[in-house]
Structure 1
Amino acid sequence: MSFIDLWLMKLDAWWAGMSHYDLLWLAIGFGAQALFSARFLIQWLMSERARRSIVPEVFWYFSFVGGASLLAYAIHRADPVIMFGQAAGLVIYSRNIYFIWREKRLLAAQHDESAAAPANR
């Protein structure tokens, strides 16, 4: 029996032994990984469009949602390596989202001040 045949037999036994609950968590894990990976596709497409390397705002949202979902999956699987890696990443993603929101608030306040300035003259 070849390596591939043995591997397929093990995969079939693993799949047959999965409960609906396990299948749900498997779907969550794959969905989370897809979200997390999509951020690089988005970054690449935006950079190609701009003809320079950029990190679009949506990159950080995909990072956060994908990272939080992968953290939930890691907690469910009781995998401390993935838990630590995703928890550390969430701090970075949150901080970047905070900077984005802060800059938007500052720009909006500056816009409001400049729009109100002619009325005061």
Structure 2
Amino acid sequence: MTKSEGAILVLGFTGQALFFMRFLVQWLYSEKHRRSMIPVAFWYFSLGGSSLLLVYAIIRKDLVFIVGQSTGFSIYLRNLYLISRERKEKQAHAEKNQ
């Protein structure tokens, strides 16, 4: 195995680890609250894992993997945008009612 092949594998496994962390974080968060919930960290781990896996797929020239990860990447960004917008609206509403 060459040095660059090893680096590519590290990239891929790091992306997989981040992707796994989203499930772990979601499970622990839901257990803590005793109901199914998705914390914001889930979306950040999704975005991080998807980013690294997308780079990995591009390096490997795997079109199926590229399409799958780029679609997910867009969805994760959109969810983080919606969460941010909702927080700003809540904060503006709270400041208005003070």
Give yes or no for TM over 0.5.
yes
Is there any run of 5+ residues in structure 2 with no aligned partner, and where?
none
Give the whole-Å Cα distance in 2 for the aligned partners of 1:20 and 1:112. 55
Equivalent pairs, count: 98
Aligned partner of 2:37: which letter? Answer: I
- Which residue of 2 is the match for residue 72 of structure 1? 55
Give the whole-Å Cα distance in 2 for the aligned partners of 1:95 and 1:29. 24
TM-superposition CA deviations, 1:32-87 (whole Å, max 9, x none): 00001110011111111111001111100100111011000000110111101001
Is there any run of 5+ residues in structure 1 with no aligned partner, and where?
1-17, 116-121
Structure with higher RCO (Cα < 8 A, 6+ apart):
2
- Which residue of 1 is the match for residue 97 of structure 2? 114
Give the whole-Å Cα distance in 1 for the aligned partners of 2:9 and 2:93. 47
Q: Per the alignment, in what secondary structure is the counterpart of residue 53 of structure 1? A: coil
Q: TM-score, normalised by structure 1?
A: 0.78
Aligned partner of 1:55: which letter? Answer: I
Aligned partner of 1:43: which letter? Answer: Q
Larger Rg: 1
2:10 is the alignment partner of 1:56 = no
2:5 is the alignment partner of 1:28 = no
Tell me how large the CA RMSD over aligned residues is.
0.8
Give the whole-Å Cα distance in 2 for the aligned partners of 1:82 and 1:38. 20
Q: 1:87 aligns with which of 70, 80, 92?
A: 70
Give the whole-Å Cα distance in 1 for the aligned partners of 2:79 and 2:8. 29
Aligned residues: percent identity? 47
Q: CA deviation at 1:108?
A: 1.5
Give the whole-Å Cα distance in 2 for the aligned partners of 1:26 and 1:54. 32
